[in-house]
C-alpha cells in the first residue's frame, strides 16, 4: 500500500467519516497479523464518534482472536466502492455488543484511502456482466487437456479485475502469483481484448461460506494504452447507466 501524503488521511473527523461509510456499506475487511502472517475476514459493527472508537467482528475461531490480541501490530485492508483502504493498529481490546464478543479499537492515527485512477473500480452489471474466458489445464482419462472457463467479472479497474468462480472450477491453476495467459475479456457494448492476468488474492463471496463461490482478484500484466482506453470507456458507460437508475 503506497504511503504518499496524498493517500494518507490524518484528520480524526475525516477518518471517522470514512469508517462510518465502510460500516454502512458493510465492507469486508481483511486483518493481517503475526509472524505466520495469519489473517481473517471481519467487518465494522459500530462507530462511536464521541468515544473516538469503533468495533469489529471477532474471528470465528478463538485461537485466531487470541493471536490477534497478542500481535504487536495488525494491518487491515478493505475496498470501498473500488477504492483501496488500509490502516494499522497496535492496541486492540475486546468488548461485548448485545452479548456478542467484538474487538474494540480507537480511531487509527492514519488511514490510507487510495482514490486513484488505477485503483478505482466499477461493478459489472449483473444483468449484462463483463466476461473473462480463461484456459486451464485438466487431466481427463490420464491425458492433459485444456478447458475453457467463462467467468463473470464482478468488478473492473484500469489495473485489474475481480472474477467470480464456482468451487467445482477451482484447481491448481488458481494459485497466488500464477499468471494466466491469453485470457479473453469481453466488455459489453465496448469490445474485447486478450490479456495476461496475475492472480493476486482470493476470498469467499460470502463471509460465512468459504466452500462456495470464490472471488479471484487479478492484475492485468503490461496492458497496452488501447486496452486501458477500452476499460476506461466501459467504466464510464457503467457509471452513466448507474446514474440513470439513481
Domain annotation for the chain: domains and CATH numbers = 5-114 (2.30.110.10), 122-245 (2.40.10.220)
How do residues 54-68 score in pLDDT, each as one tens digit? 999 999 889 999 999
Angstrom distances, CA of residue 51 to CA of 9, 104, 112, 214, 241: 19, 11, 22, 37, 40
d(CA 176, CA 174): 7
CB 82 within 8 A of CB 66: no
> How large a percentage of the chain has pLDDT more than 70?
88
Phi, psi of 12, deg, nearest 5: -60, -35
How do residues 24-41 score in pLDDT, each as one tens digit? 988 899 998 877 678 889
Determine how β-strand 131-140 pairs with β-strand 143-156. Answer: antiparallel
pLDDT value at residue 3: 46
2: pLDDT confidence band, cut at 50, 70 and 90?
very low
161: pLDDT confidence band, cut at 50, 70 and 90?
very high
Query: How big is the CA angle at 104 (ends 100 and 107), to the nearest 5 degrees?
Result: 145
Element holding 231 (H helix, E strand) = helix 225-245
pLDDT value at residue 230: 92
Cα torsion through 172, 154, 83, 34, rounded to 10: -30
Is residue 7 scored above 80 in pLDDT? no
How do residues 104-134 score in pLDDT, each as one tens digit? 999 999 999 876 656 677 889 989 999 999 9
Is residue 222 scored above 60 in pLDDT? yes
pLDDT value at residue 156: 92
In terms of average pLDDT, the best of 25-29, 191-195, 226-230 is 191-195
* Higher pLDDT, residue 121 or 224: 224
**pTM to 2 decimals?**
0.54
Edge-to-edge order in the sheet of strand 83-89: 8-9, 111-114, 83-89, 74-80, 28-33, 38-48, 53-57, 100-106, 93-97
Mean pLDDT, the chain, integer: 86
Amino acid at each position: 500500500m503506497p504511503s504518499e501524503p496524498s493517500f494518507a488521511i490524518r484528520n480524526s473527523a475525516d477518518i471517522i467519516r470514512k469508517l462510518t461509510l465502510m460500516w454502512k456499506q458493510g465492507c469486508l475487511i481483511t486483518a493481517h497479523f503475526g509472524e505466520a502472517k495469519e489473517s481473517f475476514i471481519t467487518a465494522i459493527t459500530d462507530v462511536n464518534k464521541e468515544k473516538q472508537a469503533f468495533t469489529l467482528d471477532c474471528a470465528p475461531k478463538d485461537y485466531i482472536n487470541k493471536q490477534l490480541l497478542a500481535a504487536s501490530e495488525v494491518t487491515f485492508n478493505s475496498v470501498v466502492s473500488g477504492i483501496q483502504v488500509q490502516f494499522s493498529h497496535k492496541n486492540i481490546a475486546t468488548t461485548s455488543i448485545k452479548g456478542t464478543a467484538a474487538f474494540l479499537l480507537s480511531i487509527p492515527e492514519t488511514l490510507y484511502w487510495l482514490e486513484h485512477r488505477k485503483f478505482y473500480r466499477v461493478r459489472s452489471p449483473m444483468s449484462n456482466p463483463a466476461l473473462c474466458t480463461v484456459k486451464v489445464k485438466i487431466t481427463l482419462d490420464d491425458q492433459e487437456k485444456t478447458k475453457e472457463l467463462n467467468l463473470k467479472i464482478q468488478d473492473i479497474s484500469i489495473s485489474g479485475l475481480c472474477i467470480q468462480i464456482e468451487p467445482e472450477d477451482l484447481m491448481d491453476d488458481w494459485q497466488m502469483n500464477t499468471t494466466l495467459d491469453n485470457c479473453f475479456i469481453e466488455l459489453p457494448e465496448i469490445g474485447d481484448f486478450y490479456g495476461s492476468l496475475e492472480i493476486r488474492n482470493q476470498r469467499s463471496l460470502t463471509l460465512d461460506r468459504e466452500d462456495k463461490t470464490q472471488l479471484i482478484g487479478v492484475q492485468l500484466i503490461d496492458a497496452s494504452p488501447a486496452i486501458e482506453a477500452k476499460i476506461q470507456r466501459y467504466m464510464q458507460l457503467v457509471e452513466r447507466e448507474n446514474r440513470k437508475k439513481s
